[in-house]
Amino acid sequence: MFDAVVSGFGTGIVLSCMLGTVFFALIQNSIDFGYKSGIFIASGVVFSDIFYISAAMAGTSFLPDTPQMPFYISLVGGLLLLGLGVSSIFRKKVEIKPQKTRLGNALYYFGQGFLLNVLNPVNFFFWVAIVAHLQTEKYFTFNLQIVFFIFCLLAIFLTEVGISFSASRLRKLFTPLIMQRFNQISGGIFVSFGIKLLIDAFTKYA
């Protein structure tokens, strides 16, 4: 039990610190709109991870049997990231202060975290690899595997909330001009990831 808790929590921390699109979205939105936006983004990420873990543990049996699924996922994910990137690059100057969290905003941030995570095929392969490793090496029983993933997801959520809170605390250091440059850099990163997914869609999965 202790090994499952510790290894699950450690795996979650490592996964949440990977410099992917979610990481930059957390920082960008937390600086722009406060740490609450990051909490909802992290919640969306965790829910998408639950979906992927469930699919991996079930052997993907309940997923649609579509050979071109990786193509569609990469295509939609690439277009989503291109849209977010272009929006960030051309975003008008943001007034740097926390905004009230409304239901519409909460659903938007939750959806952003969910889609950024679920439309990145690499995340699914990560979870498949982890599940396969646990089941092949027989480290844990099924019940302990559930414990492993619960603490893995808890670590991901807490780490991303911590990143969001830390970024929001730095808000006072950012002038509108610095924020505009930061948004442009973040947008460029999103565009780069989006182009990479689109290239993969047409070269690897088409």
- Which tens digit of pLDDT belongs to each residue from 111-122? 888 988 887 767
Written as six digits, the tokens of 197 are 């997914």
172 pLDDT above the threshold of 70: no
Nearest Cα to 116, choosing from 88, 90, 96?
88
Does residue 51 contact residue 153 with C-beta atoms inside 8 Å? no
Q: How far apart are CA 89 and CA 82, in angstroms?
A: 10
DSSP-assigned letter for residue 170:
G
Q: How far apart are CA 10 and CA 188, in angstroms?
A: 31
Q: What is the mean pLDDT of residues 167-191?
A: 72
The count of C-alpha atoms lying within 13 angstroms of the C-alpha of 170, restricted to the half-sphere facing its C-beta, is 15
The reported pTM is 0.70
Q: What is the mean pLDDT of residues 125-134?
A: 76
182 pLDDT above the threshold of 90: no
Q: Which residues of 144-159 are buried (b: 16+ CB within 10 A; e: fewer)?
A: bbebbbbbbbebbbeb
> Which tens digit of pLDDT belongs to each residue from 53-99?
888 888 644 555 566 766 776 777 678 768 767 876 776 655 444 44
Does residue 52 contact residue 124 with C-beta atoms inside 8 Å? yes
Q: How far apart are CA 44 and CA 108, in angstroms?
A: 10
Q: State how far the alpha carbon of 47 is from the alpha carbons of 33, 38, 192, in Å.
A: 22, 14, 25
